Amino acid sequence: MREITYLEAIREALQQKMREDDSVYLIGEDIAEYGGAFGVTVGMLEEFGKERIRNTPISEEVIIGVAAGSAMTGMRPVAEIMFSDFITIAMDDIANQAAKIRYMFGGKARVPIVIRTAGGGGTGAAGQHSQSLEALLAHIPGLKVVMPSCPYDAKGLLLASINDDNPVVFIEHKLLYKNKKYIQHVPGEMYEIPLGKGDIKRKGKDLTIVATSFMVQKSLDAAEDLKKEYNMDCEVVDLRTLRPLDIDLILKSVNKTGKLACVEEAPVFGGFMGEVASQVTEKGFDMLDAPIIRIAGRNCPVPYSLVLENEMIPGVERIKSSIKKMAGLSQGKE
């Protein structure tokens, strides 16, 4: 069975869908000859030509405005925003137009646009190129928000996102693109993973860890260490999509384990895991044997210094320490 990287899985999904459907095209900065900032679209210009691999000026408003307008007229654009931080520049087009059009037109107009973007830190790219803004996006009614954690999910979720008739923000983590540690068997044929369905990446009985994107991989590493060191059996739930949220899967896991740790890269204040914790408290309070904990980024911009960045973003050791403290195994360090 072949194994491919996260980046290769995303590129394959784009290629296969574009071969199947002429209404799908790509638009963004430097995605043609250069192949995109992270190399996802390398080689696609030669196959599909400049009509379907469209370079744009350095203007995120233009990218989303053109994509949303063409989506309303029958196209299925995949718009690339180089860094998720730059989504803020196009928020009027995203939040006030694309997200609301179908509702405000009574379903008569559709906006089947996918906004692909690279999120997260860990590369020393500092505060304006390293943010995790998913909570901001998930707050907006009308948007779907997707955060794949592995190659298999990346391909299936991207194909489902392109086929969806609503605007989808598809957040890809920079540290997963070419990471050989996380290569995975990915079927060569097209397949979809339904939006709004989470996945249990590791079964366990003692504690539930809910995580997103690269934090899923860190949580899996932490869970393996906790099993070896303390015989603690953690279940790791990958949300895969933030909106729609698979709250039923989370509640099912919490009902089994009685404990919940929520892990995310974004700053803890106002983070998306606050929504998860709130819903579990409202719908499953009697299932809990201990207070829910959140393990998240520090409440500061992402530092340029890699030493400080690694302190700001949760790592495996901080995840382990927080869970040990929650379980009474040690004092831990938050």
Question: Environment class of residue 186 by beta-carbon count within 10 Å: exposed (0-12), middle (13-18) or buried (19+)?
Answer: buried
Report which of 47, 39, 15 is spatially closest to residue 159, judged by C-alpha positions.
15
Distance CA 250, CA 119 (A): 24
From the list 129, 139, 173, 185, the catalytic residue is 129
Report which of 274, 280, 266, 270 is spatially closest to residue 294, judged by C-alpha positions.
274
Element (H, E) at 80: strand 76-83
Is 173 a known active-site residue?
Answer: no
Cis peptide before 291 (omega within 30 of 0): no
Cross-strand bridge partners of residue 53: 26
Report which of 302, 309, 315 is spatially closest to residue 85, judged by C-alpha positions.
302
User: Phi then psi for 237, rounded to 5 degrees?
Assistant: -105, 125
Distance CA 328, CA 315 (A): 20
Distance CA 162, CA 13 (A): 10
Which tokens go with 163?
């086929």
Report which of 101, 105, 129, 103 is spatially closest to residue 117, judged by C-alpha positions.
129
SS3 209: strand
Are 169 and 88 spatial neighbours (Cβ–Cβ below 8 Å)? no
Active site residues: 129
